[in-house]
């Protein structure tokens, strides 16, 4: 349970992901949870086959971007830690996002119908802040650069598969 708590601390901007050394099994669980929870969210938007394809592409883009950043910033020895930190943080946000989706279903056609939208924006901003924090700790860059990297990572990881799925 300790590795999970270490990575959960990152969501509150505590801890240093560079000091973590996740096992291959833990990393596999992080990626598996990312895939399953992503498919659950996307399947509520489109059909399950499209959701599976889009989440698979998203995972591939994320792995490519993170490995490219680790190589570019000469942090290859910390790649597993970077990967686990980002995926675990995304898992926390997507778990909250699933809850917001259920809340959205319950609050439709009520006076509180806008609340899930506001919560979604909060989750997006929190996600960007966590990813920027992880990048800052891993790559030892200025906060502005890490925020730009986090926004770029988000746009590429979620935007490219979305655009490809819209084109298909």
pLDDT at 106 over 70: yes
Q: What is the pLDDT of residues 113-125, one digit of tens each?
A: 889 999 999 999 9
Which pLDDT score, from 0 to 100, does residue 1 have?
Answer: 54
Which pLDDT score, from 0 to 100, does residue 101 have?
Answer: 86
Q: Is the overall model pTM greater than 0.85, yes or no?
A: yes
Domain borders along the chain are 2-167
The Cα diameter of the chain in Å comes to 52
What is the rounded average pLDDT of the residues 7-16? 89
CB distance 38 to 58 below 8 Å: yes
């Amino acid at each position: 349970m300790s590795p999970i708590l270490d990575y959960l601390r990152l969501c509150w901007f505590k801890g240093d992901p560079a000091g973590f050394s996740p096992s291959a099994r833990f990393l596999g669980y992080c990626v598996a949870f990312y895939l399953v929870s992503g498919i659950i969210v996307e399947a509520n938007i489109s059909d399950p086959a499209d959701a599976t394809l889009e989440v698979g592409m998203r995972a591939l883009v994320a792995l490519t971007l993170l490995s490219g950043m680790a190589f570019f910033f000469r942090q290859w020895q910390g790649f597993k830690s970077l990967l686990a930190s980002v995926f675990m943080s995304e898992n926390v946000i997507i778990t909250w996002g699933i809850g917001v989706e259920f809340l959205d279903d319950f609050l439709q056609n009520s006076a509180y119908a806008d609340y899930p939208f506001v919560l979604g924006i909060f989750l997006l901003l929190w996600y960007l802040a966590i990813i920027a924090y992880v990048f800052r700790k891993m790559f030892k860059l200025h906060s502005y650069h890490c925020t730009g990297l986090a926004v770029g990572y988000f746009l590429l990881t979620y935007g490219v598969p979305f655009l490809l799925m819209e084109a298909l």
